[in-house]
Structure 1
Amino acid sequence: MRQREAEHPFYRPLWVRIVLTTVLCLWCLVEWMNGEAFWGVLVGAASLWAIWTFFITYRPEEPLSAPEKTSETPPDE
């Protein structure tokens, strides 16, 4: 199965997602304050995408190497 780019292990820590989204939101604010409506809309859209992807719909994959718990009992000797 193909992994979505937003589910890359780099984005797993919460602080990484918070920093990236905060930087985008601040960049959008700077663009609007400088009167750059085009760039403000572009970065604003990227900010909304980051909020949607990293906080609303984010579902990290479980590690594949996690041991499975079984309820089997060892055979009697």
Structure 2
Amino acid sequence: MIGKLLGLYHPFFLPIWRRVVLVGFLALWAALELATGGTGWAVLAACLAAGCGYEFFIAFDPAKYVRKDKP
């Protein structure tokens, strides 16, 4: 569900390195916000990282990332 909501099923995210970079960036953002005292932003970034990690690595289905408008 979170994949459709955030548009994570775009073909851009099919290569694994892009998925790893995005989840890593969100985790680093959460850590930075937590270190600087922004707990609200840290929770938001951590939840996004967890949701993206789930969609990209646990529930990953390559068929979801195929363009729908291809003939």
TM-score range, shorter chain: 0.7 to 0.9
CA RMSD of aligned residues (A): 1.9
Is 4-13 or 37-46 further displaced after alignment? 4-13
Summarize the alignment of residues 1-77 of structure 1 with structure 2, pairs less than 5 Å apart.
Answer: 4=4, 5-61=7-63
Structure 1's consecutive aligned runs of 4 or more residues displaced over 3 angstroms after TM superposition are 62-65
What SS does the corresponding residue of 1:6 show, helix, strand or coil? coil
The answer on whether the counterparts of 1:7 and 1:58 sit within 8 Å (CA) in structure 2 is no
Q: How many residues align?
A: 62
Ranges in structure 2 where 5+ consecutive residues have no aligned partner: none
Report the structure, 1 or 2, having the larger helix content: 2
In the alignment, the residues of structure 2 paired with residue 7 and residue 41 of structure 1 have an alpha-carbon distance, to the nearest angstrom, of 23
- Give distance in 2, aligned partners of 1:46 and 1:8: 17
- Structure 2-normalised TM-score? 0.77
What residue identity is the alignment partner of 2:58? I
How big is the shift at 1:58? 1.1
Give how far 1:29 is off: 0.3
TM superposition score normalised by structure 1: 0.71
State the percentage of identical aligned residues: 32
